[in-house]
Amino acid sequence: MQATEWETAGLFELQCYLRDEPTGLWILHLRMMPVREDLFWIRWQNRFGNFKVTDRPADWLLRNRRLRKALWYYAERHGGSPNIQAQPLAVADAGVRLAIRSITTFVPERGS
């Protein structure tokens, strides 16, 4: 995967990474990750629903260094269950353009 064009308004940096799933599949991500931490978000997805803590409550909880370290991008780092993580959010003004254009090339497995 190659990013060919992008607009981040100075709020994000591009990151590309590959992660595995417990099922043996691989997921390739091309993402805009916040450069600064304007807000925080804690989310937990399970069979009962999606639960989230945002804004001031999330900021207050994540002041605990141990909790922050444990939850910081937990689902991205570990995959599977529990699907919980904390992450920063960047605030963009109305009308700000954000875009990524990419090219992905798939090649056959070796020996096939």
Condensed to tens digits (0 to 9), the pLDDT of residues 37-91 reads 999 999 999 999 999 999 899 999 999 999 999 999 898 888 777 899 999 999 9
Kindly provide the residue ranges of all beta strands, DSSP E only, lying in the chain, ordered along the sequence.
Answer: 2-7, 12-20, 26-34, 39-46, 49-54, 83-89, 99-103
- Structure tokens given for 85: 């993580």
Q: Residue 72 has what DSSP assignment? A: B
